[in-house]
Structure 1
Amino acid sequence: MHAMQYEITLPADYDMGIIRTRVATKGHLLDDFPDLGLKAFLIRERGEDSPVNQYAPFYLWSRPEGMNSFLRGPGFQGIVQDFGRPDVQHWAGLSYEEGPASAVLPRTATRRRTPVPASAAPADAVGAALEESRRLAKAPGAVATALAIDPRHWELVHFTLWDHLAPEEPGERFEVLHLSQPGRGNLGKGRQW
């Protein structure tokens, strides 16, 4: 499993209805994309639990070939044409778990990025993060949760989809506009570290 996200921060007065319409008309195009486990079409709106307007889709890929195909394909090129080329963050998957609300379409998501201190042994930091991920996966309202790591910058990312307003978990909160999940069953449940 591979996690990927890009963030497009928009002007403070940007009409987020434009993004909502874009997702409503184009989101379904990834509903059968090869090697895509899931894509959560995420936004944050300034003044609503966020300091910025942002479009920030989050992807879980079952194979890197799917991610590569998407980045060279017309969908991502449309993003580049309309908003400029964003930095694409990506992480190696550590775990994926379905939650108690796994049959429900998510309404919100949380993402928490945590640096691994230079003094910490990677195995110990990942072990503690895996325990946290298991806790999140069991939380009421959790649809699914993923844990991944960027070993270049030694950063962990927890990503959780929720069936309701996100609970008071640390991290950024997003609204889910659409969920494409053609290969969600291929993400390899459980620990991958």
Structure 2
Amino acid sequence: MIAMQYEIALPADYDMEIIRERVRTRGHALDDFPGLGFKAYLIRDTQYAPFYVWNTAAGMANFLYRGGGFQGILASFGRPVVQHWPGVAFLRGDATKANYATREITRLAPEANPIDVVGNLALENTPGLHSAAIGVDPRTWEVVRFSLWEEHPGEEGVYEVLHFSEPELGSITAG
């Protein structure tokens, strides 16, 4: 499993209906993309920030480098930084819909042993959870915890899920 996200910051006066329409008309393109566990098409405030969980590095490479969809982002918004985290844990919750998303990024303390920290990372199934993933970037030693929810989780900084492509959701494994 590889978690991946890029964030496109839009001007404060940007009409987010443009993004909503883009997702309405193009979002289905990845509904059966090989190697993709899922893609959550996310927005919040003036930001478009899709989040992916890839089952294979080949699927991610096809998307980014072989005309598998990323060309539309490049043409419309330029080349964003693509964050990615090798997967450590994945949990499929009980919720049937993914309507909201949260992301938490924390940096490992310099003295922390990655083996100890990663070995203790875990996900708990809580009511309303659709799915959750944890990944670690060994370049920066940042841990990302990404969760999808059926109902708004009641915290700040929550993303709205405009579309959810899940071609290989049932095949996601981590670690």
TM-score (ref. length: structure 2):
0.95
Q: Which residue of 1 aligns with 2:161?
A: 176
Q: Report if aligned partners of 1:112, 1:172 keep a CA contact under 8 Å in 2.
A: no
SS in 2 for 1:124: helix
Residue by residue over 1:33-54, the C-alpha shift from the partner in whole angstroms, topping out at 9 and shown as x without a partner, is 0100000000001xxxxxxx10
- Whether 2:142 is the aligned partner of 1:155: answer yes
Q: Unpaired runs of 5+ in structure 2?
A: none
Q: Which residue of 2 aligns with 1:78?
A: 72
Q: Which residue of 2 aligns with 1:114?
A: 106
Residue by residue over 1:83-102, the C-alpha shift from the partner in whole angstroms, topping out at 9 and shown as x without a partner, is 1100000000001111121x
- Whether 2:62 is the aligned partner of 1:69: answer yes
In 1: Cα distance, 2:68 partner to 2:86 partner: 24
Q: Report if aligned partners of 2:135, 2:144 keep a CA contact under 8 Å in 1.
A: yes
Q: Report if aligned partners of 1:109, 1:161 keep a CA contact under 8 Å in 2.
A: yes
In 2: Cα distance, 1:166 partner to 1:76 partner: 30
In 1: Cα distance, 2:91 partner to 2:114 partner: 21
Counterpart code for 2:164 = L
In 2: Cα distance, 1:74 partner to 1:127 partner: 34
In 1: Cα distance, 2:68 partner to 2:60 partner: 13
> Aligned-pair distance for 1:78?
1.1
- Whether 2:131 is the aligned partner of 1:144: answer yes
> Aligned-pair distance for 1:105?
1.7
In 2: Cα distance, 1:44 partner to 1:145 partner: 19
Equivalent residue pairs, number: 174
- Whether 2:25 is the aligned partner of 1:25: answer yes
**Structure 1 runs of 4+ off > 6 angstroms?**
none
Identical pairs, percent: 52
SS in 2 for 1:129: coil
TM-score (ref. length: structure 1):
0.87
Counterpart code for 2:27 = G
Q: Which residue of 2 aligns with 1:126?
A: 118
SS in 2 for 1:34: coil
In 2: Cα distance, 1:140 partner to 1:167 partner: 13
Please report the RMSD computed on the Cα atoms of aligned residues, expressed in angstroms. 1.3
Q: Unpaired runs of 5+ in structure 1?
A: 46-52
Q: Which has the higher helix share?
A: 1
In 2: Cα distance, 1:181 partner to 1:7 partner: 20
